[in-house]
Amino acid sequence: MTRYAIFVIFLIRTVQGFEESIFEDEDIYRIYVPAQPPSTSTIVPGTKWCGPGNTAANYDDLGNLREVDMCCRDHDHCESIIMPDVTLHNLYNSDWFPIMKCSCEQKFMNCLQEINSPASNALGHVYFVGRDKCFQFGHPIIECAKHQQGIIRRRCIVYKVDKFKSKIWQLYDIPFYTSVGETTNNYVRRTAITIN
């Protein structure tokens, strides 16, 4: 085989795409999804920020589950949100719920996993089963390279992207929530955005 042929094969494989994970740590993709999420009121009991809206008197007003409430409060103050029936960055949200920037979803998941309490893990499971999309600025997606299987649905966790094209705003799947100890032997794995 000539050097030219080897170079062409290398170039074709390179151009076919690069793999990229929106959340870097693959251990978070091991799954536990409750068959029936527990029913909750509008705001999670013991919190003032967890749920649609909030019941807090001000930014510093937190419920009895202070640590969990701080995670929710920070999540509610995400720097970039696509509200329902709104277009932002050329992305339209046809859902009934806001679509958050992926870095905010990542931070929220990490915060709940770090607390690792029954309340934080229950909230994480319910929220991340119901919320499946986030948006981020990244190289154009070619296709999904790896899925995480849920009970009914699956989500893309590694994307094949075209790094030769300019970055654009686009939607990504959010991995399912995994509690510490479910599949990671009581070791907290933090997630990280790896869009280059």
Provide the 3-class DSSP secondary structure of residue 112. helix
Whether residue 84 is contained in a domain is answered as yes
> Which of these is catalytic: 75, 77, 125, 147?
75
CA angle 166, 159, 195 (to 5 degrees): 50
Provide the 3-class DSSP secondary structure of residue 26. helix
In terms of residue numbers, what domain contains 122? Answer: 18-173
**Residue 132, CB-side half-sphere exposure with 13 Å CA sphere:** 14
Domain count, the chain: 1
pLDDT in tens, 66-83: 999 999 999 999 999 999
Residue 98 · residue 65 · CB < 8 Å: no
CATH number at residue 91: 1.20.90.10
**Phi-psi group of 118: left, alpha or beta (phi > 0 → left; psi -120 to 50 → alpha; rest → beta):** alpha
Whether residue 6 is contained in a domain is answered as no
Whether residue 193 is contained in a domain is answered as no
Q: pLDDT at residue 152 above 80? A: yes
Residue reference for tokens 């277009």: 87
Provide the CA 111 distance to its chain's centre, in angstroms.
Answer: 12
**Residue 1, CB-side half-sphere exposure with 13 Å CA sphere:** 7
Q: Which residue has the higher pLDDT, 53 or 134?
A: 134
The DSSP bridge partners found for residue 161 are 18, 141
Does the annotation mark 147 as catalytic?
A: no
- Most confident option among 27-31, 36-40, 54-58, 146-150: 54-58
Q: Which of 36-45, 46-55, 60-69, 99-108 has the lowest mean pLDDT?
A: 36-45
- pLDDT, residue 182, reads 66
| Size (the chain), residues | 196
Question: What predicted TM-score, i.e. pTM, was given to this entire model?
Answer: 0.73
